[in-house]
A and B are shown apart, each in its own frame.
Chain A
Amino acid sequence: MSFDPGLFMKAMSHQAPPYILEHLNLVLIPMGIAILIALPTGIVITRPGYRHLSPRIMAVFNAGQTIPPLAVIAIFFPFLGLGYGPAILALTIYALMPIARNTITGISTVPEDIKEAARGMGMTSWQVLRRVELPLSVPAIMSGIKTSAVLTVSTAVLAALVGGKGMGAIIFAGINFFQPELILAGTIYIGAMAVFIERFIVLMEWLLSPAHLKG
């Protein structure tokens, strides 16, 4: 297989860029939905009434993480068919796990004596959650979101296989037509997106982190 720099430059400048937005959608939409589901779930599971459920739910999340995303798509295929929708669904399920897992870990590792003091001073359980548990869990939650986002950027490549578009389209085209230039260009954009998103989340993490950790 030969490498044609001209073709590579063309892939970088013309063929790949249109897929960037598509790919970002495949990342941001599942991430948004996953955060909206996983955060409240994680919070509810750590409330005293449901806490006993959390080991089992964590086990489900951990197991879920070991299923390949393609398998998730395969499972839903009979109901949802191929295309953009099923791809989004599979990616959402995939993105859910690290966020939920870290939210639960983060909240449940807030030291008991701190929560006890907050309650003892007369905070309601809602105030304890808002002013103590959540702020102290920000680092854990954000690191879950980060893991999830980076994972989704690369997993979203598979969406192209089921007609879900994205940067995967150009990579698989490169594989099918024996054009390494396309594969390389697609991969570079994927990497760049991953780095960019990761940096963005690190910034958010810093902004939201509890004050004593900012030094």
Chain B
Amino acid sequence: MIELENITKKFPGADSFSVDRISFRVNEGNICVFLGPSGCGKTTILRMINRLEEPSSGNIFVNGKNVLEVDPSGLRQSMGYVIQQIGLLPHRTIEQNVGLVPELLGWEADKTRKRVRELLEVMGLKPDEVVRKYPHQLSGGQMQRVGVARAMAADPPIMLMDEPFGAVDPIVRIRLQDEFLSLQQKFQKTICFVTHDINEAIKMGDYLIILNQGRLIQMGSPIDVLTSPADEFVLSLIGEDRGVKILDLTRCETLMEPMRETPDDLMGSGCFVQSIQPVKLALEVMMKKDSDHVAVCREEKVIGLLSWKNIKKHINRVSGEDE
């Protein structure tokens, strides 16, 4: 668990606060995503959590311990850190780079080697091709993935990830996100994740924390933020297609009208969705089947009917427009 209490940070010589009275908590096993324009203080917050920077005032607790009272190296070894500028050590091979923290922790060479290969694989890199290379022999996106693997190497319970997928192409990026989420399902780490990409934020975050000029503007689950943005700034950050994004996060069962039976032809013609699938998918099915409603099932059983009218009503309601 990570807890910030009224944290401020003013760099020497700066005339404004880089981080201004921020408090929040990231519970164990959650991914907390930080979102905000360049210079709003995201990196500074992460760096204060692992004590690369000390706050001007306020307290930070990690698993109940004040970070200023623990040994900084030990603290950092217990947190994976993906730095924004990647920062691989140029004089070390990829294998040595990924195995850095295990090496500092004194793992056996064999165990480290196995772990390094496993992680490179997870990151979609071919271990045999890259382990002996040096960082300058890789592309930017490949280096970034090595940076993520390095942060995960010693299996730290906490991860600080500063735009971990910023340099990889959109296709690989989506694959890495999925891979990461499925690992997260299994290992339940406590993660602070910085991104500039609202879609990534919605996809990865259990919580979003939206920042502007060092201040916390809004905090909440992705659906909370999408349905009730705190102000104009948050609204502009989310983008024009808020409705579509909401439909991606809303399950069909929330908008359907409960019903035991639906007209037969819907099931027969394949015009149905599962109750936990996103409404966006229901829309797709409707378009494909040229229908204005779909059956909603739980397993094999029909439990409701979702119609275009209901969807439209929902969009209008959450985006505050009149019907």
Q: What residues make up the interface of A, taking CB atoms closer than 8 Å to B?
A: 113-114, 116-124, 127, 132, 135-136, 210-213
Contact = CB atoms under 8 A, between A and B. Distances in A.
A212 B50 contact: no
A123 B81 contact: no
A132 B97 CA distance: 12
Interface stretch (B72-80, B119-127, B210-218, B250-258): B72-80
B91 A136 contact: yes
Given A117-B89, A136-B91, A211-B93, 14 more contacts: A113-B85, A117-B86, A120-B52, A121-B76, A121-B81, A121-B100, A121-B104, A122-B74, A122-B76, A124-B73, A132-B91, A136-B90, A212-B134, A212-B135
Interface of B: 50, 52, 72-77, 81, 83, 85-93, 100-101, 104, 134-136, 147, 150
Contacts of B88: 114, 117
Contacts of B147: 117
A116 B90 contact: no
B156 to A, nearest CB: 10
B52 A119 contact: yes
A120 B81 contact: yes
B77 A211 contact: no
Given A113-B87, A117-B83, A211 B92 contact: yes
Contacts of B91: 132, 135-136, 210-213
A127 B52 contact: no
Contacts of B90: 114, 136, 210, 212
Contact of A121 (B101, B134, B135): B101
B86 A121 contact: no
A118 B77 CA distance: 11
A65 B104 CA distance: 42
Contacts of B135: 212
Q: Which secondary structure dominates where chain A touches chain B?
A: helix
Contacts of B83: 113, 116-117, 120
Nearest to A120: B81
A113 B77 CA distance: 18
B87 A122 contact: no
B89 A211 contact: no
Contacts of A136: 90-91
B119 to A, nearest CB: 14
A212 B137 CA distance: 9
7 smallest beta-carbon distances between A and B, as pairs: A117-B87, A210-B91, A122-B77, A122-B76, A113-B85, A212-B134, A113-B87
Nearest to A212: B134
Contacts of B86: 113, 117
A140 to B, nearest CB: 14
A117 B92 CA distance: 13
A118 B73 contact: no
A182 B303 CA distance: 109
A121 B52 contact: no
Contacts of A122: 72-77, 101, 104
A114 B104 CA distance: 17
Contacts of A121: 76-77, 81, 100-101, 104, 150
A118 B81 CA distance: 10
Given A127-B104, A212-B134, A212-B136, A119 B89 contact: no
Given A124-B73, A211-B134, A118 B50 contact: no
A175 B229 CA distance: 90
B101 to A, nearest CB: 5
Contacts of B89: 114, 117-118, 132
Of listed B77, B90, B92, B101, residue having the most chain A CB within 10 A: B90
A132 B88 CA distance: 11
A113 B82 CA distance: 12
Of listed B74, B77, B83, B147, residue having the most chain A CB within 10 A: B83
Contacts of A113: 83, 85-87
A120 B100 CA distance: 11
B50 A120 contact: yes
B161 to A, nearest CB: 12
Nearest to B150: A121
A213 B91 CA distance: 8
Contacts of B134: 211-212
A52 B301 CA distance: 74
Nearest to A136: B91
